[in-house]
Each structure stands twice: as C-alpha cells, then as structure tokens.
Chains A and B, each alone.
Chain A
C-alpha cells in the first residue's frame, strides 16, 4: 500500500462533505425536514452527528437482568472518525446496534443531528453498518449488493448504476462487479461491504469490528483504506474495535468502554498519555503500576513517596482527589535505565531483556518488593544494548511520566 494518499487517489465524484439535504434526494435542494421513502432527513446540521444521552440497555428480565449499557452519554462530532474501544462484553457493540436501530434502548435518547432516532426502525435511519461478518447477500452479485440500499430507497435505475460504478471505483472493485460474493476473497468482501454501506451516502457509517477477520497485512492495508474513505466521503465513522492499536492509529477520538460504561473519551494521545482510570491505562498499551503514598498535593500534581523513600511528582485526572496509598502508572517508554543505581529514582535488578526488533524491553525486578517494572528502549545504531541480566540498575522517569489513577 502506498503512503501518500493524494497521489494514488483519483478522486471520485463525491463531494468531500456531502451538501446537506443532498444525500437522500440526489438533487441539490436546500436542507429540508421530513422524510424520503420513510428515511428521515434531519432538520438541522448540528455540530454533533450523533448524541447519545443517558442511554441504558438492559437484557433479560427479573433475576437474569444484565445492563449491557449503564447510562451512557457521548457526543460524536460530524465528520469524525470515532472509535468505541473496549474488551468483549463491554457494551460497545450494543451501543452500535442501538445507533443502527437493531435494538432499542431501555432508557435515554439517541440524537442524529438533533433529532431523536432511538424509536425508529433501522430502515428509517440514514445510518448504515459494515458488519463484522460483512453480511453480504450471497444470492446477489457484487454490484447488486452495492446497489441494494439505493434500490430500497427507490432511486431511479440510472442513478443507481452511476452510483454503483462510483462506489466500485472508490473501493477498487470494478473488475469483480459481476462476481458472486462467495467468489471473492475476504479482503474483497470487506471492500464490497464498505461500498454497500457507503453507497446510500449515510449521515453516519457504523463499523462493527470490520477488520477482525483479516490477516495482519490486509488489516494494515484496510486501516489506511478506511481512513482514506472517511477523508474522501466526509461521512462520520463510528468504529467498534477491541484492538487498541487499531483504535490509536485510526481514530480522531476514542471512547474507552468497560462493563457497560464509557470510562474516557478523548484523542488517541489523551487516552494514551493521560488515561483517566487504571482500567484505561491497563487496557491501552503496556503500563507499569507502582505503589506509593501521597505526601503532598497541588492542583493537578501530587508528590508521591515510594517505599524506598524516593519521591516523584505525578499528575492526576480532574475530579480525582488522590490521598494515602495510591497506584502510579508509568508507560514503559516514559522511563529510562541508568547503569548507576544511585542515580535512579527507583532501583532494581534486571531480570530479563526482550528484543523486539524496533525496540528492547528491559524487565526490572524492583528492590524491596515483588513488583516488576518494564522499560522500553527504542533500538538504534547509536543506542546499543549495554545491559546484562542480573545487573543492578536505576530507573529514571521523564517529566510528567507518572500519573496517579483511580483504581
């Protein structure tokens, strides 16, 4: 796959941002409220494409009741690549299904450009989904699959054909348009699923772990492809994944979910560098956890003392008041080894060195306890490995490396 987007993209006839009201009617009419073929056309283009307000979803009844979503609120901006990230069972797919209309919330409302769509059936929402299983129609050709949504909207035949051709070009599947979906590879099916969902020009595209069935290389390719498609179509993407790397590389913003709740919403950098909770820090990337005691506190910064009596200043999230015994988190790449233990904030014995090609992980067994600490070194020609296992080492922290988090 190429790296430069611009050079390899022969821009299809899509406006980078669809003109409002244009999507359903196919004509350049001024924005208007109401519906076309029963599919709603939202009244006002708002700043937020989707607004989820206090949504609860409970499955089962009585004793067996499970809250898959526990009063979730989140705003997704227009033209945003928004990712719902979390382990399986965290409620991310449930939330996606509520937005798509396959399930209805037990409480709360879901606004699309300011209009509550929560009670509408899926076929009345200008929202399309790319399914994890792709769910392509096996009795139709590639082109018929892509045209299905437009056909159901009652578009004229000529318009459907033109649009299908456009989509085929967009996902580079022109050559295979007459094939059955069973006669194309997984990666190609993925592209068809994308084209099918994009063809009716939805306000919001929902993607339910669409890359999980692809092998590593193809997944990398499709990640770039997805970003390109989002950029070119200007459609809001809501992407569900449990793959933190995927989330970090693709998203404009990420919502980290666990046990039916949204724990933190922010840019990939925010989420990675300033996790709001221990779960977020633990789920995304590798993290070291250190026990310490808060000795003093200024707004936003706490001074924490280790068992070794060394102290460190650490930031903490807003609205959290650390005190007493706390857990510090430090990213492996935000710490450094020093050969002289006396120069380190904390000290320990090098127990293991793991070479990863691009970088090296040093596992340090900390003095005065069983805690392990991992330091990551970027490998380079000028940065040779000078340590050996068994050596006594010190660990230094970069500024702002440590954070105090809620357990």
Chain B
C-alpha cells in the first residue's frame, strides 16, 4: 500500500498546558477510507487541524504525498480537502456561489460543469440559488462537503460528517463517500457513530487522550478483538456442566436453565459462531435438549468501549 499521509511523533500542547496529541504516529494509505474513532476531547479534531493547517503542532512531522507539509504547505494543501465539524460558512451566500468560491480560493479556474456535477451528486442542484441559511441542517452539511470537494482533493478529511443528520441523509452520505473512494479519493473521517465506521471504513484507528491506542483493518480488528456470546435456553435445567462439554467456555445461569457460552476474545470474524455451532451439535449428541439460542457477536462499538475502559475485548 502506498502511503498518502505519514504522521510521526506529532505532539500538540496548547498554551494552557493541555496536551491534545501525544507523539502520534499514523500512516494513511492511498485510496482507503480510514475512520478515526475516539470520545470527545480525544484529539481527533486537533489531529485533523494539524494536517490541514488550523493547528500549529508543538513537535513532530507530517508528510503528505511524500512531501513535508511544513515546508511545502502551499501546493500540498491544494490537494487536501476539509469538511469541518461545525456548520461554519457565510450563511448569506447562495449555494452555487459558495461552492464556486471555494474552488477559486484553492486557486482553480471556474468550472461550472464541475460545480454542477458536485451539486447534483450531493442533491443540492435544486437548491443552487438558495441562501445557505435557508437550508436544513443536513443540507448545510452537504454544502460544506460540496465546498470541500470543489477543488477536487485527493485526500479528504471529514470531521463528524453525519453529526446531526437524520438516518436517511446519513445513509445517502455514506453512499457519496463510497463513490468518492471509487473515484480514488482517500477519505479520513472521524465519527461518533461507530456503525458508520463499521459500515464504511477499510481501516480503523482508535484514539483516546491524545494517544493512538490501535490501528488495524476493520475486519482484522474485529477478528482479533471480537468476542462471541451465546445464551442457550435448556428444555431441562442442569445441575452442572456435563464432562463432554468441558472443552467449551460455558457457565450455567438462572438455576441451570440457561447455558452461557462466552468466548475469551479473539474469536471474532465468525470463529465464535462456528464454535457455538459445534456446541449445539455436542448438546444434541449428549441428549441435552434446548428451546432457544441467542448469539451475540461483539460489534466495533463493544471493542471500542472495551479498549477505552482498558479491558480486553
């Protein structure tokens, strides 16, 4: 994989003494969708700000497209787009002009066809002459995305792109982001909606208190840290776990009426459910009847919460 962004030893300490980033190392590959997850105040927005020129790093280096951002910021910024978390823009500007101005600000000549294409893709074409202030929250966020896309960036940062957006619009936006990836744009997004990362991201990074706790491919992370839990309602209660089932991680609950399977972790990605299937066969072979099975596999959210709490997933 070819890196498009390489961050090394990035530290940011604000003038008040608060350290928002603690020697962060992170590499983003060309063409991927990378989701940066973390609670409020974890350092996500500071990290994005440091790359995009809004935050002055205290130390460390940022290389984009193989070049040092500090010394080559002018032409590198032209290849990077940012959609901020806040709905911050001149609300009195009409949509089309605002998006066209964003293109001009990045030094590109006017291109009415390109602006139309972007507005149509984001379902904003019908609102092209409306003042931004008259649009709904979701539509305003689309305008910010359109503004960020106006200069056709190769690397796009989306800071909480679907915050405050209803479910339908959110799914619509996911489709747009997937389309961007198909066109070769690398996307880095922060989100509170872990479902969003689960749905879209190729790789996931978890950040807390200014430190990157883990970076991995989403599937590998879920396989490595995922856990399967199954509750098997027994037709007849058991006094103890039979010897034939001793190889399975089982406990009894509710006076022996429920058999609980709880993996030790690391059996995500289907391994746990396979073992539960073997368990059910073993139950039948041992003549133990059951009336219901409830299987639950760890979501990215479970893994995220466990990591933040410092426990094993």
Q: Do A and B come from one complex?
A: no
Residues of chain A whose beta carbon lies under 8 Å from any beta carbon of chain B: none
Residues of chain B whose beta carbon lies under 8 Å from any beta carbon of chain A: none
